[in-house]
Amino acid sequence: MAKGITSREESYADWYNEIVKKAGLADHSAVRGCMVIKPYGFAIWEKMQAQLDKRFKETGHVNAYFPLFIPKSFLSKEAEHVEGFAKECAVVTHHRLMNDPNGNGVIVDPTAKLEEELIVRPTSETIIWNTYKDWIKSYRDLPLLINQWANVVRWEMRTRMFLRTAEFLWQEGHTAHTTKGEAVAEARQMLDVYAEFAEEYMAMPVIKGRKTANERFAGAEDTYTIEALMQDGKALQSGTSHFLGQNFAKAFDVKFLNQNQKEEYVWATSWGVSTRLMGGLIMTHSDDNGLIVPPKLAALHAVIVPIPKPGAEIDEAAMKIMAALKEKGISVKYDTDAKKRPGFKFAEYELQGVPVRIGIGKRDLEKGVVELARRDTGEKTQVPVDAAASAIEQLLEDIQNNLFQKALDYRTEHTSSADDFDTFKQILEEKGGFVKAHWDGTVETEKKIKELTKATIRCIPLDNEQEEGKCILTGKPSKERVLFAKAY
């Protein structure tokens, strides 16, 4: 393990990449824009999945799986939707390889051309709605509440590990309802699920809001979002939930017979979060010593480091603490590697973001105590061996709360208001973060502001205060402030 990593101040991008690689979360792969998620990173993702999946099921959803490939023709059925994704699709054109007659390995067999090309799904609305057509006949078939855990591919021009990769893992919920009201309520409910998960588990405060028409999902009537603020003052869209209206029902002709024996198109939603959340997790909490993982998502809660090395008495104390932790459901590893010195281990586990380190040293043990070090603050305390497990339990809770509070404080400090364009620009340039400002409600103004400042409207907060004002760019009247920021 290399000594030290680039500081956030020196280069935020380098810092981020080094955390990802050196903490063992992921690596660049041989394929452009695609990453290998390594065991340690995948373990954290699995914890996220487990929690989210549990909540989806508690809210009545079931999991299913749809094909990776989508016939090209499906994508042309919903005009806006195609337009949104057309530029970034991977296309399968052939189904066979053959030996190169010139002896240069294998080539695509030109005779194995597909009659209709297949698109590697960038999202599954089309294949799913094509299927729902057969599943939905009556109001009794509704609501249909399905989620799938899958990989999708979007041929992005520029990629960054976890934040934007050509292939990424996600879940996508696709639901069908009898009424508009029910579908909107579903979209809102799932946004709440995401927000609760982000705040309670990831310790990442988010702002719930609605996207402007310009930022809306291709094919949606309304897009809800949770927006988080990263340590460099840029916003990260961390989850979205869409009210799709009847667009896909009409495009794929999905009708049901209502109780009055009349045919109606169904109302739809879709919602998703992805491995991008990993990027949010990293950029919300980590520091210049490495990764910091909130206890509720940590692959490993605590690690025991024998000082200076394992031995009968230290082993005994370690076993005792491990047994007590096990009972409390706290995961712990006893690092018995005698070839590495304590200092090395301290640095290594800090890099990996293990929330609590238990140092068991000969000297301390004579006094019957061990040392607890918390990753978030670096603070060290001494506790009696018998009290260690309950102290650690408390510490994990404290760390979880502290991480959330710290992130919330950062966001509060980096949320400003601007009433004129110069101030607006200055805040974005000097301080970053969210800026609340009035906007005249037009796409043109939104685009112009983006052009001038690189900031976009992250959302119109759901609980937004109504307030008369003037658009910072055009001076036209506005009835509420919207949330601007530069974004990932």
Contact residues: RNA, CB under 7 A: 1-4, 13, 17, 28, 30-33, 87-88, 154, 156-161, 163-166, 168, 215, 217, 237, 240, 274-276, 289, 307-309, 338-344, 346-348, 350-351, 359, 361-365, 371, 373, 378, 380, 450, 454, 487-488
Compare residues 124 and 240 and give the one whose CB is closer to RNA: 240
Compare residues 311 and 475 and give the one whose CB is closer to RNA: 311
CB of 276 to RNA, least distance (A): 4
Compare residues 28 and 255 and give the one whose CB is closer to RNA: 28
* 3-state class (DSSP) for residue 486: coil
Compare residues 222 and 364 and give the one whose CB is closer to RNA: 364
Separation between Cα atoms, residue 416 and residue 434, nearest integer Å: 6
CB of 230 to RNA, least distance (A): 12
CB of 29 to RNA, least distance (A): 8
CB of 84 to RNA, least distance (A): 7
Separation between Cα atoms, residue 466 and residue 231, nearest integer Å: 29
CB of 365 to RNA, least distance (A): 6
Separation between Cα atoms, residue 434 and residue 428, nearest integer Å: 8
Tell me the sheet residues that pair with 306.
Answer: 360
CB of 177 to RNA, least distance (A): 23
Compare residues 139 and 421 and give the one whose CB is closer to RNA: 421
CB of 258 to RNA, least distance (A): 33
Separation between Cα atoms, residue 11 and residue 13, nearest integer Å: 5
Compare residues 178 and 445 and give the one whose CB is closer to RNA: 445
CB of 25 to RNA, least distance (A): 14
Compare residues 14 and 409 and give the one whose CB is closer to RNA: 14
Separation between Cα atoms, residue 408 and residue 296, nearest integer Å: 17
CB of 215 to RNA, least distance (A): 7
Quick one: tokens of 176?
């069908």
**Range 339-367 burial, b when 16+ CB lie within 10 A, else e:** eeeeeebbebbbbbbbbbbbbbbeebbee
Among the listed residues 402, 411, 307, the one whose alpha carbon sits nearest the alpha carbon of residue 355: 402
Q: Residue 312 CB: number of other CB atoms within 10 A? A: 7
Among the listed residues 376, 363, 373, the one whose alpha carbon sits nearest the alpha carbon of residue 407: 376
Quickly list DSSP for 21-46: HHTTSEEE-SSTT-EEEPHHHHHHHH
CB of 159 to RNA, least distance (A): 6
CB of 475 to RNA, least distance (A): 24
Compare residues 279 and 295 and give the one whose CB is closer to RNA: 279
Quick one: tokens of 25?
């979360």
CA geometry: angle 313, 327, 357, nearest 5 deg? 55
Which amino acid is residue 435, in one-letter code? Answer: V
Compare residues 157 and 312 and give the one whose CB is closer to RNA: 157
Q: Which helix (H) or strand (E) holds 393?
A: helix 388-413
Edge to edge, the sheet with strand 302-307 lists 332-334, 302-307, 356-361, 369-374, 380-384
Quick one: tokens of 422?
């110069």
Compare residues 65 and 344 and give the one whose CB is closer to RNA: 344
Contact 377, 340 (CB under 8 A): no
Quick one: tokens of 193?
């699920």
Compare residues 57 and 380 and give the one whose CB is closer to RNA: 380
CB of 469 to RNA, least distance (A): 27
Pairing type for strands 302-307 and 332-334 reads: parallel
The residue length of the chain stands at 488
The sign of the dihedral angle between the CA atoms of 401, 406, 412, 414 is negative
Compare residues 152 and 471 and give the one whose CB is closer to RNA: 152
Contact 268, 190 (CB under 8 A): no
